[in-house]
Structure 1
Amino acid sequence: METPVTPVTSLLERNKVWAKTLLAKEPALVQELAVTQKPKVLWIGCSDSRVCPELLTNSHLGEVFVYRNIANVVNSQDIGTMAYLEYALMNLKVDHVVVVGHTGCGGIKGSLNVESPGEYLKPYLETIANLYAHNESHFADLDSEEARLRRLAELNAVRSLRTIQESSVYQRAIKVNPGIQLHAWIYDVPSLTLTPLDAKDEIYQALNIV
């Protein structure tokens, strides 16, 4: 009797094909990655299944060190996030940190739903809800929910970037590697494109973070 094909067994089968192909095509890369990794970029993004960093940037294995959570939230009180940042900056010595928000983000939308259920999800999203509540002037010129959600996704990416910049981890890291650069991007899901956000832009400089 054949094993039924499920989403999980399909992943395993596709892994076999991918592994065989890469081993034949780039054996030197596979051999190098079996020993070490030397990524130059830390990508902090959303866990959304449509936003796969390596795929949408056409990156090779070992190029990008990735940390993903719901709505790409960086919270300095979260030991997991800070440990990840510390490892990337102090151990891997990445040169670039990129925080990437995206359109159509369920976490961004859920943060504005006051009746959103979830024992853990609701308090987790409070950082974004507070960002919106204390920066209403940034949304006054927008006349659609889609535009407001995109703006909030952008502001949240910049807020996370600023949290990194103000963290003790980053302050220690730049003493060792003063060339570290921080970036905020927005990924547009329908067009599949990444757009850099200028964190020094007036709209972001005026951001009220609580």
Structure 2
Amino acid sequence: MLETVKRLLDNNQEWVQEKLSEDPAFFEFLAKGQQPKFLWIGCSDSRVPTDVITKTDPGEMFVHRNIANLVINTDMNMLSVLQYAVDVLKVEHIIVCGHYGCGGVRAAMTNQHYGLIDNWLQQIKDTYNFYWPYLKGLSHEEQEARLVEFSVVQQVYNLGKTNTVQNAWEKEGRPYIHGWVYDIKTGKLVVQTPMIHDNKGIDRICRFANSNISFKEGYLEDVTTFEEITDPRQS
């Protein structure tokens, strides 16, 4: 067991030497501060390493991760990261990135109880119920993939409605918000929403307020109103 941990420390030493051989001033530059252009809100899943899949260096990406990449307006951790990134670091872009095969999404689709995390996953359960008309005709695997996508859109909407983003949009016209999904089977990032930088964009893409949504080539565009909704809890 100690050898497993020691491997991490040994790897760190190797990484330090590799970086110094590439640029002797690498760590001196990093120590001066950070000026990232991006805030990444992603899942804690160990298979989705932010810097690896985007090929970014230290200092380029400010990162917040949690189970199932949720943006919840009572989560002081996420809100604090967001406020610091937007108001202090002045990031230009915020990326909300989910991923196929997400354990949190999979758990939210069941009626099983997992403990404390059930409270955290309730928002995904609500999303699942809301979009049941689009999901009920799909296989379980397809439902899971689509729910990952729906949840990303929900988080983009939640993000756009935070006071931090609203104030920044009003004063400076930034940040730009992006909704992506990472495909673990291919290693590729899939764009799920267009770039959004104002309320018109957030309301056009994410029409949760009046229960409207439709799809075209992966984007949420022309509106179709739900007139009859079958609740999955009753099916």
With the length of structure 2 as denominator, give the TM-score of the two structures.
0.81
Pair 1:173 & 2:185 matched: no
Match of 1:110 in 2: 107
What is the percentage of aligned positions where both structures have the same residue? Answer: 33
Pair 1:202 & 2:214 matched: yes
**Aligned-pair distance for 1:4?**
4.8
Pair 1:94 & 2:106 matched: no
Pair 1:130 & 2:126 matched: yes
Residue-by-residue CA offset, 1:82-128 (whole Å, 9 max, x unaligned): 1111111001100000000101100000112212221x200110000
Q: Pick from 26, 46, 50: which aligns with 1:49?
A: 46
The answer for unaligned runs of 5 or more in structure 2 is 195-204, 206-212, 227-235
| Root-mean-square deviation (Å) | 1.9
Alpha-carbon distance in structure 1 between the residues aligned to 2:25 and 2:172: 29
Alpha-carbon distance in structure 2 between the residues aligned to 1:4 and 1:183: 41
**Aligned-pair distance for 1:24?**
2.1
Question: Do the aligned partners of 2:42 and 2:96 also contact (CA within 8 Å) in 1?
Answer: yes
Match of 1:24 in 2: 21
Question: Do the aligned partners of 2:165 and 2:175 also contact (CA within 8 Å) in 1?
Answer: no
Alpha-carbon distance in structure 1 between the residues aligned to 2:151 and 2:24: 40
Q: Pick from 31, 37, 40: which aligns with 2:37?
A: 40
Question: Do the aligned partners of 2:168 and 2:174 also contact (CA within 8 Å) in 1?
Answer: no
Question: Do the aligned partners of 2:71 and 2:155 also contact (CA within 8 Å) in 1?
Answer: yes
Residue-by-residue CA offset, 1:28-52 (whole Å, 9 max, x unaligned): 3322211100100111000000000
Pair 1:60 & 2:72 matched: no
Aligned residues: 203
Alpha-carbon distance in structure 2 between the residues aligned to 1:4 and 1:116: 34
**Aligned-pair distance for 1:177?**
2.6
Alpha-carbon distance in structure 1 between the residues aligned to 2:133 and 2:121: 20
SS at match of 2:73: coil
Counterpart residue type for residue 127 of structure 1 = Q
Q: Pick from 147, 151, 160: which aligns with 1:156?
A: 151
The answer for unaligned runs of 5 or more in structure 1 is none
Which protein has greater RCO, CA pairs closer than 8 Å, 6+ apart?
1
Match of 1:191 in 2: 186
Alpha-carbon distance in structure 1 between the residues aligned to 2:88 and 2:170: 14
SS at match of 1:185: strand
With the length of structure 1 as denominator, give the TM-score of the two structures.
0.90
Counterpart residue type for residue 110 of structure 2 = N
Q: Pick from 135, 139, 158: which aligns with 2:135?
A: 139
Counterpart residue type for residue 92 of structure 1 = L
Counterpart residue type for residue 29 of structure 2 = E
